Amino acid sequence: MEYGKEKRKERLEAYSLTTFGENFIHLTKKEQYIALTQMIMEEIVPKWKESLNKYSDKKKAYYFSAEYLMGRAFSNNLINMGYQSEIKEILKEYEINYNQIEEAEEDAGLGNGGLGRLAACFLDSAATLNYPLMGYGVRYQYGIFKQIFEDGFQVEKEDDWLKLGDPWSIKKLKDQVKVNFADGDVLAVPYDTPIIGYGGKTINTLRLWEAHAIHPFDFREFNEQNYDLAIKEKNKAEMISKVLYPNDTKDEGKILRLKQQYFFVSASLQDLVKKHLERYDTLENFHQFHSIQLNDTHPTVAIPEMMRIFTKEYKMDWEKSWNIVVNTFAYTNHTIMQEALEQWPVRLYQALLPEVYEMIEQINKTLIKDLQQRGISYEKIKHYKIIENDSIKMAYLAIYGTHSTNGVAKVHTDILKKRELHFWYKLYPERFQNKTNGITQRRWLLKANPELAEFITELLGSKLWITELNQLKKLEVYQEDKEVLKKFLKIKQKKKNQLAQYIKKQEGIEINPYSIFDIQIKRFHEYKRQLLNAFHILDLYYRIKQNPDLDIYNRTFIFGGKAAPGYQRAKGIIKYIHEIKNLINNDKEIQGKIKVVFITNYGVSYGEKLFSSADISEQISTAGKEASGTGNMKFMLNGTPTIGTLDGANIEIIEQAGQENNFIFGLQVEDIERMNLTYDPREYYEKVEGLKRVVDSLVDGTFNDGGTGIFKELYDSILKGTSWHRADEYYLLKDFESYRMAQKKVNDAYKNCQNWAKKCWINLSNAGNFSSDRTIEEYAEEIWRIKNYIF
């Protein structure tokens, strides 16, 4: 049943009164947002049920992911359902600002970086393209953390995004299941959230599990006045779904992470098996109706867990079970960094998940037997072992236990095949394939940049690009059209003005909206090289001080991103950037030629403002270290050139938009492989003009690290190395001069307004290949073997 405006207003008032005891107009903005969402959900739920029913007897895909960086749902859902204009009208009649309602929604605290945002984009694309894809994960109460800065240091605070509840999710108590651990069982309670495809034809589900105690309250202990003991089991169980990626520098943190992984995987598999048996009364055809994608190694425990369920609980033959498991699961590898190829100590699995560990042991024995039958020698077999040196290698388990392993960009997949996982590739060449990541244009253009979206629709004479992003290619004909480019730059300036106002409000920093917005926003890690960016900024500052007439276009350098709580070096880099920021922003002599901003608590909603307003996109990771990146695609989609290395999806961006429309610098993968053992960073430290001065700022008293010693540690890591890595592991000093030259080219190119606009326009026009719609089509056809149905 479609509601008209008056009916919606009537329902809105009803929800306002029954939920908050007040008329809608008297509610706070957060309360108004909740009442609106409840009213909208009343319309969504019947369509949701209808959508799920149409796929009931079809093969479906399931995405197992430790994180989902969803962003705000309010506007995205209204746009996809086609309700936004009417809701705006209703609010206008109440004299309420729609943007204030939008801002009242908390970003869901379910993810951190690109892996989680990719999962969110995939869910959006699958629903839009009418593919049955369901997400499974954990309903974290506090997300990863809310980032604040104290004297430039990152401080982690709880992100209580659920303090007023989540009106988009529905608790499904009837589907709760028990998850068994050696130290006590817990209940997994599911919450379902609708994933609405553009046009509203398909509404899929994201099911997130919350951990609860089986016996949350011990009345006997309470009666004995042992109040802490009375709720001990409740606290212990609920800790599992409290925080995303708890610090695991101690065993307690490792155990909690392992519990999280097994908790959601076991609950999800129990859920699928139960529903499958209700319909088919046999598990032998399970793989014919279910395809499960493991988003990185976090959910890899699903492989032995399914073997446990099939062989222990349902007494199925091992070989038959293994065949079903391999044909059900597929694995996405998101990294080539050895330290990120997850491994678990055997002792933790034995202590916490003894039955699952038995399965892993048996899988390892089966693997060794398979290898022996293939004539592989004992010396070579040890390279394949899943259990080796008292560690369980989850990536190896994922490759052996699935029918598909995919990288997420061409160069990434090539490196996996040729280097990092070469021996596995030789064993199973048919299992390896590439699926270059993508982003959803509904979130990152239609919603984030409505001004540009409207202009594109006007030029193309159609909204088809919203579901077929390759339509953007038709815009290339306007690359020399002065009026079109003029209007594009006008839109870009409007977005820059909006961001400048928002930064002033949020950060208390006034920036020049007519300066070059140079933006690096991503998770903090050494290989992403925020430190290289910082060195260049400090070098530029020193050169301006030496030569006040230096030919430089005013520039605002914007950073955003979080460091993992236990990653001290990344946190040290954040502090260092803040020290540079304080030096530069407080120096009146440079007359505001450059300014530095470090935005607080970077997330999806802040990102929407940043991606749409950027002039230059910083994608400067060490070549061969970034698997793909999706931030680079979001910038490109909004008409922003890249300054970057030939790494990850940057390579494919250059192939599409041309190197002449971007700014490429630095070592390539092949260069690094050639110079690997001979590299001496001191050679560049001593010889590259200005470099020693900026590197020495870490230790010469220019900046204060609060007595932590972290700046000295950073300095030593670059020039001396440590016990676990060589000096300048990520080639900052080698790439510095090349990066500085590329930045000079950015400066010079920006002065030619027409040519700069053309570079931006060609990037935008060639962004079509980076839609997550294209990626999902490839997964559906080549890995999951599912069909899209339009009923």
Please compute the mean of the pLDDT values over residues 735-747 and round it to a whole number: 98
- Coil, helix or strand for 487? helix
Res 222: pLDDT: 86
Measured over the CA atoms of residue 498, residue 501, residue 506 and residue 512, the dihedral's sign is positive
Mean of per-residue pLDDT scores for the chain: 96
Q: Tell which phi-psi region holds residue 296, choosing left (phi > 0), alpha (psi between -120 and 50) or beta.
A: left
Would you state the pLDDT for residue 171?
98
C-alpha distances (whole Å) from 204 to each of 195, 201, 495 are 5, 10, 33
252, with CB counted inside 10 A (0-12, 13-18, 19+), is: exposed
Which segments within 181-328 are labelled E, that is strand? 186-196, 203-213, 290-295
Band of residue 60 on the pLDDT scale cut at 50, 70, 90? very high
Question: Rounded mean pLDDT of 19-35?
Answer: 97
pLDDT tens per residue across span 40-56:
999 999 999 999 999 98
User: Given a cut of 60, is residue 463 above it in pLDDT?
Assistant: yes
Average the pLDDT over each of 278-292, 337-351, 444-458, 647-661 and give the range with the smallest value: 337-351
Q: Which of 213-227, 507-521, 606-620 is predicted least confidently?
A: 213-227
Residue 457 C-alpha from the chain's centroid: 28
Separation of alpha carbons 169 and 163, rounded Å: 14
Residues 508, 512, 517, CA angle at the centre, nearest 5°?
100
Taking every pair of Cα atoms in the chain, the longest distance, rounded to a whole number of angstroms, is 82
pLDDT above 90 for 2 = no
pLDDT, residue 336, reads 82
Q: pLDDT for 318-356, tens place per residue?
A: 999 999 999 999 999 998 876 668 999 999 999 999 999
DSSP class of 107:
P
In order of start, what are the domains of the chain with their CATH numbers? 5-334+353-362 (3.40.50.2000), 441-464+477-670+746-776 (3.40.50.2000)
Distance in angstroms (rounded) separating the CA atoms of residues 44 and 88: 18
**pTM for this entry:** 0.97
Task: Convert the pLDDT of each residue in 407-428 to its tens digit.
Answer: 999 999 999 999 999 999 999 9
- SS3 of 387-423: the string is EECCEEEHHHHHHHCCCCEEECCHHHHHHHHHHHCHH
Catalytic residues: 334, 522-523, 528, 630, 634
Percent of the chain with pLDDT over 90: 94
User: In which residue are the tokens 């030919």 written?
Assistant: 551
| Residue 790 pLDDT > 80 | no
Cα distance between residue 151 and residue 157, in whole Å: 15
Residue-level pLDDT at 532: 98
Compute CA distances 451 → 166, 209, 489, whole Å.
30, 38, 11
Distances (CA, A) of 681 to 324, 542, 555: 51, 22, 29
